Amino acid sequence: MEIRRGVWQVRADDALMKELDGWRSQGRLLQFTFDRGLASAYGADLIGPGSYRLNTLLNLIRRQGVLSQAHIPHHFFYEPNIRRKVVTSSSSGERAYVLTSSSLYGQYLQLELLAEARGLQKKESLHTVTVNLSSGEILKFPLPAHLIQGGGVDPALVVKRKCSLKNAYLSAAAHVAGAIAEQGQEWAQEALESMAAETEKLNAFFQGRSDSAEYEAKLQELQRRMQPVLAIDAVRGAVIYAPLFRYRLVVVDAQARERTKTVTYDPIANLHELDQ
Amino acid sequence: MLQFVPCFTGPTHKQESPTVLQEDSAGLYKVEIRGTGFKRILSHWRAKRWDGWSWYQLAKRADSLATAQNRSAGLLAVEHLQERWAQTGVVPYEHQIRTAERVIHEMQGQAILADEVGLGKTIEAGLILKEYILRGLAKKVLILTPASLVWQWYHELYEKFGITAGIQRTQWDWQFADILIASIDTAKREPHASIVSSLIYDLVIVDEAHKLKNSSTASYRFVNSIQKKYCLMLTATPVQNDLKELYNLIGLIKPGQLGSYQSFKARFMEDKRTPKNPTELRKLLDQVMIRNRRDEGQVRFTARIVHPLVISLDPKEQDIYNRVTEFVKAQGRRTGLSNMLPLITLQREVCSSFLATALTLEKMMGNMQGPELEQAAALLKNLAEVKQNSKCDALERLVSQIDDKAIIFTEYKASQEYIRYRLEKAGYRTLAFDGSLSRGKKQWVRHMFQREAQFLVSTESGGEGLNFQFCNQVINYDLPWNPMRLEQRIGRVHRLGQTRDVHIYNLITKGTVEEHIMYLLHQKINMFESIIGELDAILLHLNLGKSFESELMKIFLEHERSDRIKESLDQIAEQILQGRAEIEASSWEGLL
């Protein structure tokens, strides 16, 4: 609640205070303000760039949400349209009708990745990549956020994934590395040029002693400091269950011969998949 | 509604290196795909530990915000420290921020910080350290200093930068503390040296780096053997007698920056004190060394005005003073100079208050027996009988003339209580400030002093870095024998942000050891008006830091006559003045 203009008060319990300020802290009333003047006048915690309280809050929040799950309900998609699409997608001269249908879920892994490009300076960037765990492919577009709802689904309705989590992570990381490479490599070029100049100086200094342990150590020091590296790590992830519509069809060809086939339609990828 | 999930992630003491799942080369650079974060996600998956979707989304936003903060082009540390600096009254100079920016953005963390004395090299190093920590570039840090500066570094880092460093005590500390302050003399000895050399540090800071000017010393070889990514060397005197010293120092930071020694000699040395091609040499030095000078006008302090107030003791007080001094001397002769600390305390206390002296004497009596104990008991009885306190009378007279706030410094708690008792009785509002107060209470006392009370009676001269610039009167009720402590007392009010001249009142009792101390500090070395930080540098240069008090006590024990004491003090003063001259002579005009 706002206890005076520009100053808000909340009660933080013991557990929250311990997370914020360390294990010796106890629950108390916390007062916040966004104004430096009010912070010093009333002793309220300042929330602003670099402020202690903002950083403790950010750190606490960033420790949460390591792995979450969400789903996109089937009802967001108009099933009769999908059914029509599936039925009419047979090759020419064939007719198909639906024998049975079921609504299932496919698994997508959404990963948030932190990329650190370390050359002479360090540049960080965050990337969200979604991997289809059925095909192992990277989704070219993000899943529509407004359709996603928190929580899991009935495990019996989930189609088994074909791609391991590790492979999904590796391909997501490779995708990010590719995206960064496309943005340009000046940062690495610059670091390599500086490193070459420094190595030259080092070689001149250790002339005739370049097989010494000291030279080796100094060279390693130089590399640690200047060697351009792109480090990618996962920050958090979420499994998103997206709807799949599976139909068992009876297909009748021009000679009136009947056969059955199972088609799974993925409305997110807009793909039909023939299961058998 | 977000449901909070406690994590209880405390600080880790392990040196963690990230797991690299895959390493590729993408043209010009290496690509490391790390497994640290992924393993965390995997462990949640296996444990079926699902966090709420709202937390996930909120955490993603927090990630973006934190990453955006880290993208700032200037110094993150300045933004992060604003709040702390506002509380502690730290106002960084522009040249300090500029220096930190240059070291980080242009010098890749390899630099000699060679500012002239008093311009705040420690602050610059602290800023750089904080910046590297915030940017996630430094985790394992080693700070090597002379033993006498270990605690000073600890306090500075904590108070000014919110960095809690460890102080090295055992050989286990090297591995387990992420940020460690250690005495260079300890570190270079075995088994420590081998342990340190086996570790990889992100940043190494060496204070008083001029001690590494000789490449054949153990200290030099030790620092050279440390595996480090970034390295800062702090010294006001990067070269003193020989240009080779400068060459050696730079060799530690960037070997090859000045070529091989032969080529350096040929290109840049006329003789060992005269540089050749100074412009070219300066260009090369500029790439690894930053030297800010006082005359560049970045630092302006108001004046210090010293008022010595000489107080005559009444005959009874003089008599008891003489008897205590005699007792101290007799004890000193008997026990030798090895166990001097209690005697130094007693001799100093008798100039402050008899109450403090009596309390110490009573404590000392626990270890005495026979005639010695009887003598001490008699002395204690006499001390208790003295009701007169000429010094406190003089203080009362002085404060009645000061129509302003003042900080009264004393070394002893008993004196502090007595002063407060007398001043309160005389109708003044006083507050006590001492080292036992928690940080919060100190802040509160400061606040009350600013708003309510007229006098703050403090036993603590430095350390906590609290800002008292609103006050410009300092009363030294007694004098610490160590000039560094005296400097810290004055530094409480005479610092950046002080807009008025600072008045320093020194209460000196005539015919006591205080008179001699005052003679040395004020008349001989002009300590009160010297440049801030200069005396520290001189005492360190002369290796006199901690032993200064013992040196004085030796003189007082060895000599009876006042003129002989003065002669010995003159010698110490001469040494200090010579040290000052040496430091000034090392300015290497035109080169540094």
- State the Cα–Cα distance between residues B501 and B526, nearest whole angstrom: 17
Q: Is B8 on the interface with A (CB under 8 A)?
A: yes
From B200, which residue of chain A is nearest by alpha-carbon distance?
A221
Q: Is the pTM of this model over 0.90?
A: no
Count of H-run helices and E-run strands, chain B: 25, 17
- State the Cα–Cα distance between residues A70 and A77, nearest whole angstrom: 17
* Interface with A, mutate which of B19, B20, B41 (most A CBs under 10 A): B41
From B23, which residue of chain A is nearest by alpha-carbon distance?
A231
Q: What single DSSP character describes residue B51?
A: B
Give the highest mean pLDDT range of A3-17, B34-48, B363-377.
Answer: B34-48
CA triple B92-B94-B100, angle to 5 deg: 80
* Residue B8 confidence class, pLDDT cut points 50, 70, 90: very low
CB contact under 8 A, B30 and A234: no
Q: How far apart are the CA of A13 and the nearest CA of chain B, in angstroms? A: 11
* ipTM computed for the complex: 0.89
CB contact under 8 A, A204 and B256: yes
Residue A116 parent element (H or E):
strand A95-118
Helices A52-63 + A14-21 axis angle, to 10: 110
Domain boundaries, chain A: 2-64, 74-274
Residue B77 has pLDDT above 60, yes or no: yes
Location of structure tokens 């810290």 = B488
Q: Which residues of B touch A114 (CB under 8 A)?
A: 37, 63, 67
- Of the partner residues B7, B37, B64, the one whose CB lies closest to the CB of residue A126: B64
User: A-contacting residues of B 321-350, CB under 8 Å?
Assistant: none
From A57, which residue of chain B is nearest by alpha-carbon distance?
B62
Q: How many other C-beta atoms can be found within 10 angstroms of the C-beta atom of residue B439?
A: 12
Residue A40 has pLDDT above 80, yes or no: no
CB contact under 8 A, B41 and A151: no
Q: How far apart are the CA of B444 and the nearest CA of chain A, in angstroms? A: 11
Q: How far apart are the CA of A216 and the nearest CA of chain B, in angstroms? A: 11
Residue A254 has pLDDT above 70, yes or no: yes
**Sheet with strand B304-311: strands edge to edge:** B304-311, B502-509, B473-476, B406-409, B455-458, B430-433
- Of the partner residues A63, A151, A231, the one whose CB lies closest to the CB of residue B32: A231
- State the Cα–Cα distance between residues B441 and B447, nearest whole angstrom: 10
Average pLDDT over residues B358-385: 82
Q: Which residues of B touch A205 (CB under 8 A)?
A: 251, 255-256, 259-260
- Of the partner residues B4, B41, B110, the one whose CB lies closest to the CB of residue A234: B41
- Of the partner residues B55, B64, B81, the one whose CB lies closest to the CB of residue A65: B55
Here the tokens at position B324 are 């205590």
Residue A53 has pLDDT above 80, yes or no: yes
CB contact under 8 A, B251 and A238: no
**Contact between B415 and B478 (Cβ < 8 Å):** yes
Q: Which residues of A touch B109 (CB under 8 A)?
A: 225
- Of the partner residues A67, A169, A205, the one whose CB lies closest to the CB of residue B49: A67
Location of structure tokens 């008599």 = B319
Q: Find residue A273's DSSP bridge partners.
A: A264
Location of structure tokens 């799949």 = A244
Average pLDDT over residues B108-126: 86
- Of the partner residues A19, A112, A173, the one whose CB lies closest to the CB of residue B33: A173
- State the Cα–Cα distance between residues B272 and B277, nearest whole angstrom: 14
**pLDDT tens digits along A159-213:** 888 889 999 999 999 999 999 988 888 889 999 999 999 998 888 888 877 788 8
Q: How far apart are the CA of B226 and the nearest CA of chain A, in angstroms? A: 9
* Residue A275 confidence class, pLDDT cut points 50, 70, 90: low
CB contact under 8 A, B42 and A203: no
Please give the pLDDT value at position B463: 47
**pLDDT tens digits along B165-223:** 999 998 889 988 999 999 999 999 989 999 999 999 999 999 988 888 888 899 999 99
**pLDDT tens digits along A147-166:** 899 998 999 999 888 889 99
